[in-house]
Amino acid sequence: MLELTEHDEATLNGASGAGAALAMRIVVATAHVMNARRLVDICCAHIDGCLYHGDVSLDFVERFVAAGTRVAVPTTLNVGSLDLIHPELFRGNADTARAAKRLMDAHLELGCEATFTCAPYQLKHRPRAGDQIAWAESNAIVFANSVLGARTSRYGDFLDLAAAITARVPYAGLHVTENRAARVVVEAPNFSASARRDAYFAALGFILGQTAGATIAAITGLPADTTEDELKSLGAAAASSGAVALFHAVGITPEAATLDDALQRGRPERTIAVSEADLLAVHRQWNHTRADSTLAAISLGTPHFSVDEFRKLDALFDAYTGPLRCDFYVNTSRFVLWQMEDEGLAQRLSARGVQIVVDTCTYITPVMKRISGLVMTNSGKWAHYAPSNIGVSVAFGSMSECVRSAFEGRVCIDESVRQIQ
């Protein structure tokens, strides 16, 4: 039976206003569904509901705005349906654009921060290991739980905002220590020295999501120098192909100093051995290339590009002269963009033909000028969702393969990928 504190009861009964009462009703109803016995405080929230999906998206938020409601904890916002810094990039319906902007503005009126990024973990202030939080957006959830060691269940649209307003969530799911134990072991192949290393992390994540689903996995064999960006790529792909909200990388992530720690002294239900051939097979699955296929564009940064990724991209561009032979998009946050502008790197890439997109992402918003032909990416998440979302055919490769392809005007992928049957 759910036990509420006096403050919970008072909020539920309207002591903090009609908006907070509505939010508390949503949280309490969710707690009953999850069989939680109590609620727990959170220290921050991340909202996915500022992406416009029709009138219902706006109606829900406007109800809180009309009631004068404010969020109770620091609250960041996921991508919206517009690049507010570069509004001229939007190529969709004008009425949709107006409604989408109103939705983004309405969240700001509730006291949310104008972050508009799917990678809130790249911001200056981010949760620490053990912090109880309420994050939405699948890649942010898996990164927070896995890489930061913070604790969040999978919060979707509407529930995420209710949690931010009440600063309370059900004490259930991944908020509870014993529910965070790995039950599956995934043995990764040794690809630490591969030139296609970034693409391999995405493919491994895709396999993880397909094979583990919502079951928590402990991954062994990852390179000792695995970066946050590589874990970001792995987690985003895993959360796209399956319901992965937490994985443990043994020897790397906070709760997995050893395999025994990740398993919380238990025994795995099964062990999955992944080979390099398995990774290459995923790459082949994501490549819809034909001899007569034209390369329309490159799209990087899903999830949003980090500072380190921009610097790597800049270094890759240094190896080429002449113009790009297709459109080239990079999705990132406005905060990373501003840092890149301060360094002069954004201007340098722009002069080479790179279009930086902020506040949104090219796989959900009509931004790209050309989608007939192939769009190439190094993102497993983009490769998984873009075909159904915006009707494109995808080519997949490492970041270096994407850059080479852009300068040659054709898809350039290591022949070993093509040879996998």
Joined tokens for residue 72: 């109770």
Does residue 327 lie within any of the structural domains? yes
Tell me the pLDDT tens digit for each residue of 226-239: 999 999 999 999 99
The strand order across the sheet containing 247-249 reads: 247-249, 217-220, 184-187, 270-273
Using alpha carbons only, what angle is made at residue 343 by residues 91 and 332, rounded to the nearest 5 degrees? 35
> Mean pLDDT throughout 141-155?
98
List, in sequence order, every residue forming a beta bridge with 356; answer none if it has no partner.
Answer: 330
**Eight-state DSSP code of residue 306:** P
Average pLDDT, the chain: 95
User: DSSP letter string over 93-150?
Assistant: -HHHHHHHHHHHHHHHHTT--S---S-GGGSSS---TT-B-EE-SHHHHHHIIIII--
Tell me the pLDDT tens digit for each residue of 381-394: 999 999 999 999 99
Residue 371's pLDDT band, with cuts at 50, 70 and 90, is confident
132 and 200, same structural domain?
no
For residue 420, pLDDT over 60 is answered with no
In terms of residue numbers, what domain contains 57?
6-178
For tokens 């992402």, the residue is 361
Return d(Cα 379, Cα 69) in angstroms, integer: 37
220 and 162, same structural domain?
no
Q: What is the pLDDT of residue 195?
A: 87
List, in sequence order, every residue forming a beta bridge with 358; answer none if it has no partner.
Answer: 332
186 and 174, same structural domain?
no
For residue 418, pLDDT over 60 is answered with no
Does residue 256 lie within any of the structural domains? yes
387 and 361, same structural domain?
yes
Residue 251's pLDDT band, with cuts at 50, 70 and 90, is very high
> Mean pLDDT throughout 55-83?
97
198 and 153, same structural domain?
no
187 and 173, same structural domain?
no
59 and 20, same structural domain?
yes
**CATH number of the domain to which 325 belongs:** 3.30.499.10
> Mean pLDDT throughout 197-208?
97
Q: What is the pLDDT of residue 198?
A: 95
Joined tokens for residue 142: 């898996």
CA dihedral for 90, 338, 104, 384, sign (positive or negative) = positive
> Mean pLDDT throughout 392-400?
95
Residue 285: CB atoms within 10 Å:
13
Q: In terms of Cα–Cα distance, which of 269, 309, 300 is closest to 396?
A: 300
Element (H, E) at 163: helix 159-166
Q: What is the pLDDT of residue 52?
A: 94
Burial group, residue 421, by CB count within 10 angstroms (0-12, 13-18, 19+): exposed
Q: 223 preceded by cis ω (within 30°)?
A: no
Tell me the pLDDT tens digit for each residue of 291-336: 667 899 999 999 999 999 999 999 999 999 999 999 999 999 999 9
Burial group, residue 86, by CB count within 10 angstroms (0-12, 13-18, 19+): middle
299 and 272, same structural domain?
no
For residue 8, pLDDT over 60 is answered with yes
Q: What is the pLDDT of residue 419?
A: 46
186 and 76, same structural domain?
no
413 and 314, same structural domain?
yes
Quick check: 17 and 69 in contact, CB under 8 A?
A: yes
Does residue 198 lie within any of the structural domains? yes
Q: What is the pLDDT of residue 291?
A: 60
406 and 378, same structural domain?
yes
Return d(Cα 261, Cα 248) in angstroms, integer: 10
> Mean pLDDT throughout 33-38?
97
Does residue 173 lie within any of the structural domains? yes
* Count of the separate structural domains present in the chain: 3
Tell me the pLDDT tens digit for each residue of 81-126: 999 999 999 999 999 999 999 999 999 999 999 999 999 999 999 9
- Among 141, 157, 178, where does a domain finish? 178
CA distance readout (Å), 282 to 96, 168, 195, 253: 36, 40, 17, 25
Amino acid in position 395: A
72 and 214, same structural domain?
no
Provide the angle, in degrees to the nearest 10, between the axes of the packed helices 197-212 and 276-286.
90
Does residue 89 lie within any of the structural domains? yes
Tell me the pLDDT tens digit for each residue of 252-269: 999 999 999 999 999 999
> Mean pLDDT throughout 3-30?
98
For residue 416, pLDDT over 60 is answered with no
Does residue 1 lie within any of the structural domains? no
> In the chain, what percentage of residues exceed pLDDT 70?
98
Quick check: 204 and 279 in contact, CB under 8 A?
A: yes
Pairing of strands 295-305, 217-220: unpaired
Does residue 364 lie within any of the structural domains? yes
Q: What is the pLDDT of residue 288?
A: 82
- Greatest extent of the chain over all pairs of C-alpha atoms, in Å: 68
Does residue 257 lie within any of the structural domains? yes
**Least confidently predicted of 89-93, 127-131, 183-187, 310-314:** 89-93
Burial group, residue 189, by CB count within 10 angstroms (0-12, 13-18, 19+): middle
CA distance readout (Å), 189 to 128, 280, 326: 30, 12, 34
Q: What is the pLDDT of residue 421?
A: 34
